[in-house]
Chain A
Amino acid sequence: MLRRFIKSKLFILLTVTVIVLIVMGLSSRKNSKIKYVSNVFTVVLTPFQELINYIGGQIDEASSYLKDIKALNDENEALKARIAELEDEVKELEGYKTKNDELKKALNIKHQFSDVEFLGANIIAKDMGNWFNTFTIDRGISDKISVDSTVITSNGLVGRVVSTDLISSKVVSIIDESSTVSARIAKTGNLVFVRGDLKLKEQGLCKLDNIFPDVDISVGDTIETSGLGGIYPKGITIGTVKEIRRKTNDMNRYAIIEPAVDFKRLEEVFVLIGKDNIEKAGESKDEG
């Protein structure tokens, strides 16, 4: 009886389930070694994703090239005039820059990003399902990217790295439902939370909550990272307030944020790599 049960499909199914659940529990820990398994597949897949991405980019470029020739001519004229204008401005600003550098040195101000390296990366793949707003970039452990590195563009915050493989990493964007960013209203300095929302992410927006009743917030306010929580550095632009909604009364309200980054047209990002990354990795290992 028992022997027959052990040989049955049901028993195998249960055994596999239990083993997989254990593996799942172990691998959901931060910096888990089990995740290295995924390198087996991603190292093979990443070059192909890069290739497809490259071909897609070329096609886009070619089609827009044909479309834009006339527009470009007009733009060229306008830009030439603008260049002359800007060159004058640059000269002026360079003067300010040297002055600023001198003053900074004198005051010994530590610039907030001075101990951080910017690493450019291309987005090569999106998440396979419809629930999550994550994507894959073509840089990984070999480029010193670690879990929880901040990802930005020149416009503002994109998200953070959730897992790394040898030559690729996964980034979860701030509009994903699992993302929460500790933020502050730039105008007043009040602390708030920026969260992803399943309904809003289709339009590329996210939600701002934890607004206390006495907080003065209005449409158009800039929201930036607060630096609390230890993941994102302070002072990165997240976006602007698009709309303020009340649930029941003034006590209970939330705002819709339009991120500074256009998530629909995201192709290139920068990863911030702290020079103290090695220490950080050691710390989180102790926690796990």
Chain B
Amino acid sequence: MRVKIVSYSILIFFITLVQSTVLDNIAIYNVKPNLLMVFIVSVALLGSNVEGAVVGFICGLVQDMVSGGPIGFYALLGLYLGFAIGSINERLYRENVLVTIIVTFISTVVYEFSVYFLSYFAKGSLQLVYPFTHVILPEAVYNSVVSIFIFIIILKIKRRSEKVAKDSRRY
């Protein structure tokens, strides 16, 4: 447990730093991957729904703080994303990379559409096709690719944490 908390905290800080600075330089068609979202998906996929919800909430809160909008917007979205994926993961063969890629793709589409609708529905200038083809679809593909690497990192942390727990139980 302690291994998870420490390594997740470091990862969240590092991802936020990268996301807000250097990621713009590797944007393809002006679209960059959402590493924090991929992180939430991977953690929720490998853990329980409580774990997914807590990590999702914290990641969202960090994004709220950094983005300067109302505090709680991304936190709630992250909370529900983590909870939802954490709740369905027992029905999936979850330690498979292919499952991660598909789940990341679908989650990105749902998550980014939610962000778009909730941010713009008050303005009355909603479109459907353009945001999907020019932002959400490329981002979903990009996220899916990135999810392979983040998933492997989370999987290693999980195995490490399980090993530490087993060792401490033995004595």
Contacts and interface: CB of A to CB of B under 8 A. Distances in A.
Interface stretch (A12-20, A65-73, A217-225, A274-282): A12-20
B24 A41 contact: no
Contacts of A13: 53, 79, 83
Nearest to A39: B65
What 9 pairs across the A-B complex have the smallest Cβ distances? A170-B68, A38-B65, A24-B72, A28-B70, A163-B68, A125-B20, A27-B71, A20-B72, A41-B65
Contacts of A190: none
Contacts of A229: none
Given A16-B57, A20-B75, A128 B65 contact: no
Given A9-B49, A9-B50, A134-B67, A27 B72 contact: yes
Contacts of A106: none
Given A27-B72, A136-B20, A127 B67 contact: yes
B104 to A, nearest CB: 16
A128 B24 contact: no
Interface in B40-72: 49-50, 53, 57, 62-72
A21 B75 CA distance: 10
Contacts of B57: 16
Interface in A29-52: 34-35, 37-38, 40-42, 44-45, 48-49, 52
B131 to A, nearest CB: 7
Interface string B73-112: 1011001000100000000000000000000000000001
B133 to A, nearest CB: 11
B21 A53 contact: yes
Given A130-B32, A131-B135, A35 B71 contact: yes
Contacts of B161: none
Contacts of A178: 119, 123
A213 interface: no
Given A9-B49, A130-B139, A56 B17 contact: no
A134 B83 CA distance: 29
B125 interface: yes
Interface residues of A, number: 45
B17 A128 contact: no
B69 to A, nearest CB: 8
B22 interface: yes
B154 interface: no
22 contacts: A13-B79, A16-B57, A24-B72, A35-B71, A41-B66, A44-B13, A49-B17, A49-B20, A52-B21, A56-B21, A124-B21, A125-B66, A126-B20, A127-B67, A130-B135, A130-B139, A131-B115, A136-B20, A163-B68, A177-B120, A198-B127, A198-B131
Nearest to A177: B120
A40 B65 contact: yes
Contact of A52 (B22, B34, B135, B139): B22
Given A49-B21, A128-B19, A42 B72 contact: no
Given A126-B21, A128-B34, 9 more contacts: A9-B49, A41-B66, A49-B17, A52-B22, A124-B21, A129-B115, A132-B67, A170-B68, A177-B120
